[in-house]
Amino acid sequence: MRYEPFVVDGAGRKGRWTVLCDHASNIVPDFVAGGTLGVAQADMARHIAYDLGAEGVSRALAAALDSPAILSRFSRLVIDPNRGEDDPTLIMQLYDGTIIPGNRGISEPDAGERLRRCYRPYHEAVARLTAAHTAPVIISIHSFTPRLRGRAPRPWHVGLLYSTDTRLARPLLARLQAEPDLSVGDNRPYTGHLPGDTIARHAIAAGRLNVLIELRNDLIQTPAQQRNWGARLARVLIETLEHEGL
């Protein structure tokens, strides 16, 4: 079976939203060092390899919005689609205390193969999907670990990341912060976006409404939790768009 670096869920849906999941999978394709990066299975099951729970939330959210979702099918440790091609962290050699042997001293041809067979096809598919919808709104779903090794706990249930375009993020942030059971991070646990990342490339550069949503991964471990968060986010996103007249 031919390897595909992405999957589109609900390609025929007509909603104006496009849901992206850059880090949906911890797959290491066979052409990458025989399908292994030399990382222990326990580490490949951690947040360093993919965004735990984000795929299920993305699928549930897209279905609730009657819109398509596009999900990567390669680990962020193979190559990170949420980075620009010239970003020094595009292919990580060390992540949260774990050395990535298969990435140390990677040759230019090997890095180029990962770009050609994983990174670029994913971004080409995102571009096609967004271009096929009128006035698309791009929602990027990620998850974060409750605590990095040796760091303070992260108390937020959900965080919104944004940079120069705040048209959707600011009113959405206010609505989420008004929900009494949520601790909501404003550009937390990270700040804004990186040059050339997915939102910068497919949303900001084209003037498309957008927001990146980070969910704490211990809150989206089960299919039921993922469905609940997908439905909850869909409700708040729809309310925000309608209230703001966007």
pLDDT interval class at 152 (50, 70, 90): confident
Is the pLDDT at 143 greater than 90, yes or no? yes
Considering the chain, what is the average pLDDT of its residues?
94
Q: pLDDT tens across 14-49, in order?
A: 999 999 999 999 999 999 988 999 999 999 999 999
Q: pLDDT tens across 41-59, in order?
A: 999 999 999 999 999 999 9
Short-list 131, 21, 141, CA closest to 81: 21
Q: Please check whether residue 140 is in contact with residue 168, taking contact to mean a CB–CB distance below 8 angstroms.
A: no
Q: pTM here?
A: 0.95
- HEC sequence for the chain: CCCCCEEEECCCCCCCEEEEECCCCCCCCCCCHHHCCCCCHHHHCCCCCCCCCHHHHHHHHHHHCCCCEEEECCCCCCCCCCCCCCCCCCCCCEECCEECHHHCCCCHHHHHHHHHHHHHHHHHHHHHHHHCCCCCEEEEEEEECCCCCCCCCCCCCEEEECCCCCCCHHHHHHHHHCCCCCCEEECCCCCCCCCCCHHHHHCHHHCCCEEEEEEEHHHCCCHHHHHHHHHHHHHHHHHHHHHHCC
pLDDT interval class at 126 (50, 70, 90): very high
Of the two residues 98 and 167, the one the predictor is more confident about is 167
**What is the residue type of 94?**
L
